[in-house]
């Protein structure tokens, strides 16, 4: 099969920054690579299939592919009806959410090959799983234009053996059918004993040594090794569960059962408040009913398969929100140090704060994992960040992460697919919630995941939260070897990290707030999401707002401040401390748990391109939280800016006295 060739006919669509050229291509004009000029970088999955498009999970997605691309040049059916078989763009294609709907929409619109200067890890793996070819080799373009049949080996060069075989077989389902029948044997990892990083140790412990007997564990792994690993936790949310369920049943039969359902979880956490913000245009398209169907399908799957569903919460006979955002609940109730966690969301990496190897996967990967309990992994390189010193007043982990993301290492795409391991005395001094901000946002660098070794802070948290013994909490703890090998290592002096913001368009646009040339007036301040809705974040919002109230001030006129909890447990924490009353008195709107405005699905979204938002969420790709401009910032900056009416650094925070 490796000697077959692919004949790619049809037109090439260059996603160029020149809007007029892009429009002319959509109207039928062919252009050359040279004529295309500068190609668009950092095209996120939010732009390929915006959140509302993901209410669909079948071939309807093809009609809306790339409809969210900046400039709104690509309209409904434009890609599908354009006769394009190749899409070409710049750096970092497919950054952002793990939604498999993005490459799936391109494939079903007739695209057979995506070429980009660099391709993000999850997007690339999702493309492999569904049979969409990808490449970073621009020399293929003239060969395709000349009508040459391209050997499949051109699209597997540099891939690990498992990924290569998946591409050769046209996708993950066909590969797994052959694997389970014994026609294909995954490569055996024979890496000799060597010093290992934390992630490498977890992978080695979970490596499937013998699929027939279920025997786990290998002596060692090293970057580049390809293998299947056994998961401890698999979870999905309502955006993805229906598509994965459909793939699961079509791939393994209507009677197929989830293996070990007690380790599988589903979450209603994304679209809980959608009805409050859905535009009238989308309502007229029937999208509210389509979105509601995702909840119904997920409930049906969970019931049939006997898996735990974290659903909605009612208060006073009325639904008020979700039990919690998946990532917050994984920290609170599910993951333990040393676990391997796979979830259908790119921010699954947040669980790395507990010392887990946690990462996002797409619908096809999850559908297969439900059946086999395993996922494929190519052992990634690890970059170490050694944090030392102490944060200055008014600076927190969000500033540290925005500073790290602004490094050339990530802006140039070098971080794609790497693990970010945070260590050093500066990390040990951080509370768990602040560590979770670091691991949560590792994916904004295009990285595989983020991870921090479990220590007494983690064990104390688990004992208090779960009511388990310290011995049970510590059972899976692993530590990196002192002489482990890292792809790069950076020393971060926390005392030198300033108050940061990421300017609109990309989380990697971090700059010191003090360097902004002009005062930036804001319309919306949003404190919430998995990143900004934790207990420590509530402490920060409260510290700023309590001081403002003591000075006779509150939320500035013309500004809307939203504070949203990451889970009902976090809401209870805020209520116990009087924060909820404090937030109301300051003029904030308090919201029950949901992903909400972070994914344009709840209060706090912008409604106009002229709206300016300062947000504690993790990403600000175009269109993700509405048509307006989004600045990313810490909870302290969000609250201080809400009071001032413009982007401003906080005063040295004091403890809240509601």
Lowest mean pLDDT segment, chosen from 75-79, 174-178, 371-375: 174-178
pLDDT at 318: 87
- Across 68-132, the runs of DSSP E, i.e. the strands, are 84-89, 113-116
Around Cβ 143, how many Cβ atoms within 10 Å?
A: 14
Q: What is the pLDDT of residues 463-502, one digit of tens each?
A: 999 999 999 999 999 999 999 999 999 999 999 999 999 9
CATH number at residue 475: 3.30.499.10
Q: How confident is the model at residue 1 (pLDDT cuts 50, 70, 90)?
A: low
Judge whether 318 lies within some domain. Answer: no
Provide DSSP, 48-95. Answer: HS-GGGGG--SGGGGGGTTTTSTTS-S-TTTTTTTTEEEEEE-SSBTB
Query: What region does 335 belong to: left with phi over 0, alpha with psi -120 to 50, or beta?
Result: beta
User: Domain for residue 445, yes or no?
Assistant: yes
Domain boundary among 497, 532, 557: 497
Pick the closest to residue 618 from 401, 385, 378, 466 (CA basis).
401
At 178 the pLDDT is: 86
Residue 658 has pLDDT above 50, yes or no: no
State yes or no: pLDDT of 634 exceeds 60.
Answer: yes
Query: Mean pLDDT across the stretch 150-158?
Result: 94
* Residues 234, 374 within the same domain: yes
CA distances from 135 to 111, 157, 380, 423 (A): 13, 9, 19, 34
Split at pLDDT 50, 70, 90, the class of 180 is: confident
598 and 468 in a common domain: no
User: Is 112 among the domain residues?
Assistant: yes
Q: pLDDT grade, residue 445 (50/70/90)?
A: confident
Q: How many structural domains comprise the chain?
A: 3
Q: What is the mean pLDDT of residues 146-162?
A: 94
pLDDT band at 262 (very low <50, low <70, confident <90, very high): very high
Give the confidence band of 653 by pLDDT, cuts at 50, 70, 90: very low
Q: Taking residues 63-87, what's their average pLDDT?
A: 95
Instruction: Please tell me whether residue 607 adopts helix, strand or coil conformation.
Output: coil
**What confidence score (pLDDT) does residue 134 get?**
97
Is the same domain home to 161 and 204?
A: no
Whether 13 shows a pLDDT value over 50: the answer reads yes
Residues 536 and 629 in one domain: yes
Q: Are residues 510 and 632 in the same domain?
A: yes
> Would you place residue 652 in the very low, low, confident or very high pLDDT band (cuts 50, 70, 90)?
low
For residues 174 and 260, the model is more confident at: 260
Residue 442 · residue 400 · CB < 8 Å: no
How many residues does this entry show for the chain? Answer: 658
Same domain, 196 and 232: yes
How far is Cα of residue 643 from the mean position of the Cα atoms in its chain?
30
The yes-or-no verdict on residue 183 having pLDDT over 90 is no
Residues 422 and 341 in one domain: yes
Do 472 and 553 sit in the same domain of this protein? no
Does residue 314 lie within any of the structural domains? no
**Segment 527-547, tens digit of pLDDT:** 999 999 999 999 999 999 999
Asked, for residue 582, whether it belongs to a domain, the answer is yes
| Of 196-205, 207-216, 222-231, 381-390, minimum mean pLDDT range | 207-216
Of 465, 497, 529, which residue is a domain's last?
497
Is 236 found in the same domain as 361? Answer: yes
* Domain limit, last residue, from 99, 134, 169: 169
Two structure tokens written together for 427: 């990390």
pLDDT of residue 4: 86
Residues 160 and 226: their CA atoms lie apart, in Å, by 6
Q: Tell me if 268 is assigned to some domain.
A: no
Report the range out of 176-190, 207-221, 270-284 with the highest average pLDDT.
Answer: 270-284
In a domain, 179, yes or no: no
Residues 246 and 268: their CA atoms lie apart, in Å, by 18
Bridge partner list, 590 = 563
Model pTM?
0.90
Domain hosting 84: range is 5-169
126-130, 270-274, 313-317, 385-389: segment of lowest average pLDDT? 313-317
Contact present, 220 and 191 (Cβ < 8 Å): yes
Question: In this structure, are strands 215-216 and 208-210 parallel, antiparallel, or unpaired?
Answer: antiparallel
For the chain, give the mean pLDDT.
94
Share of the chain above pLDDT 70, in %: 98
- Give CA–CA dist 42/99, Å, rounded: 16
Same domain as 165, residue 194? no
Arithmetic mean of pLDDT, 210-220? 83
What is the per-residue pLDDT for 506? 93
- Are residues 68 and 145 both part of a single domain? yes
Mind listing the pLDDT tens digit for each residue in 313-343? 998 888 899 999 999 999 999 999 999 999 9
Question: Within this chain, do residues 224 and 361 fall inside the same structural domain, yes or no?
Answer: yes
Q: How many helices (H) and strands (E) does the chain have?
A: 27, 28
Look at residue 518 and tell me if it is in a domain: yes
pLDDT digits (tens, 9 = 90+) for 392-410: 999 999 999 999 999 999 9
pLDDT at 455: 97
Report the chain's C-alpha Rg in angstroms.
24
Q: 254-284: string of b/e by CB count within 10 Å (b at 16+)?
A: eeeebbebebbbbbbbbbbbbeebbeeebee
CA distance 2 to 328: 44
Q: Is the pLDDT of residue 559 over 80?
A: yes
Confidence of residue 211 (pLDDT cuts 50, 70, 90): low
């Amino acid at each position: 099969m490796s000697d077959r060739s692919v004949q790619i006919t049809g037109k090439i669509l260059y996603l160029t920054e020149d809007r007029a050229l892009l429009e002319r291509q959509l109207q039928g004009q062919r252009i050359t690579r040279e004529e295309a000029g500068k190609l668009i970088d950092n095209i996120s999955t939010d732009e390929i299939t915006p959140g509302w498009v993901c209410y669909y999970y079948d071939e309807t997605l093809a009609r809306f592919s790339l409809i969210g691309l900046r400039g709104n040049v690509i309209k409904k059916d434009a890609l599908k009806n354009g006769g394009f078989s190749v899409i070409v763009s710049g750096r970092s294609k497919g950054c952002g959410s793990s939604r498999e709907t993005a490459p799936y929409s391109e494939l079903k619109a007739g695209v057979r090959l995506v070429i980009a200067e660099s391709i993000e890890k999850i997007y690339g793996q999702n493309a492999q799983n569904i049979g969409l070819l990808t490449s970073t080799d621009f020399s293929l373009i003239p060969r395709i234009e000349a009508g040459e049949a391209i050997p499949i080996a051109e699209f597997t060069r540099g891939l690990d053996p498992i990924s290569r075989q998946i591409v050769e077989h046209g996708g993950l389902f066909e590969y797994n059918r052959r694997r389970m029948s014994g026609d294909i044997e995954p490569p055996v990892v024979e890496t000799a004993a060597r010093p290992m990083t934390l992630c490498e140790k977890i992978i080695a412990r979970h490596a499937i040594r013998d699929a027939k007997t279920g025997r786990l564990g290998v002596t060692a792994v090293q970057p580049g090794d390809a293998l299947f690993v056994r998961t401890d936790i698999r979870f999905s949310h309502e955006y993805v569960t229906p598509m994965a369920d459909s793939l699961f049943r079509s791939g393994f039969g209507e009677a197929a059962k989830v293996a070990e359902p007690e380790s599988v979880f589903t979450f209603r956490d994304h679209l809980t408040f959608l009805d409050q913000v859905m535009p009238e245009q989308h309502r007229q398209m029937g999208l509210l009913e389509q979105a509601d169907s995702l909840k119904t399908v997920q409930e049906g799957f969970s019931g049939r398969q006997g898996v735990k569903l974290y659903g909605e919460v009612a208060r006073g006979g009325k639904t008020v929100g979700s039990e919690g955002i998946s990532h917050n609940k994984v920290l609170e109730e599910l993951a333990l140090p040393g676990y391997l966690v796979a979830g259908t969301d790119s921010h699954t990496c947040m669980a790395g704060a507990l010392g887990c190897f946690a990462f996002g996967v797409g619908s096809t990967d999850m559908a297969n994992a439900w059946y086999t309990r395993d996922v494929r992994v190519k052992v990634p390189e690890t970059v170490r960040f050694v944090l030392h010193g102490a944060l200055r007043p008014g600076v927190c982990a969000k500033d540290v992460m925005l500073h790290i993301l602004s490094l050339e290492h990530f802006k140039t795409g070098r971080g794609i697919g790497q693990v970010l391991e945070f260590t050093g005395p500066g990390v040990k001094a951080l509370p768990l919630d602040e560590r979770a901000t670091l691991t949560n946002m590792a994916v904004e660098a295009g990285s595989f995941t983020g991870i921090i070794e479990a220590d007494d802070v983690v064990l104390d948290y688990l004992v208090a939260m779960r009511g388990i013994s310290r011995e049970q909490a510590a059972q899976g703890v692993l530590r990196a070897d002192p002489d482990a090998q890292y792809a790069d290592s950076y020393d971060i002096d926390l005392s030198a990290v300033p108050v940061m913001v990421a300017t609109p368009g990309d989380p990697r646009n971090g700059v010191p707030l003090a360097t902004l040339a002009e005062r930036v007036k804001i319309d919306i301040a949003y404190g919430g999401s998995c990143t900004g809705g934790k207990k420590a974040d509530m402490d920060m919002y409260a510290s700023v707002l309590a001081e403002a109230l003591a000075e006779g001030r509150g939320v500035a006129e013309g500004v809307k401040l939203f504070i949203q909890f990451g889970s009902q447990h976090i809401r209870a924490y805020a209520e116990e401390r009087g924060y909820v009353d404090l937030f109301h008195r300051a003029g904030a709107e308090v919201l029950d748990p949901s992903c909400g405005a972070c994914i344009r699905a709840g209060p706090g979204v912008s409604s106009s391109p002229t709206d300016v938002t300062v947000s504690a969420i993790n990403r600000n790709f175009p269109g993700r939280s509405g048509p307006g401009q989004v600045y990313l910032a810490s909870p302290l900056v969000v609250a201080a800016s809400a009071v001032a009416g413009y982007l401003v650094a906080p005063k040295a925070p004091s403890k809240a006295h509601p």
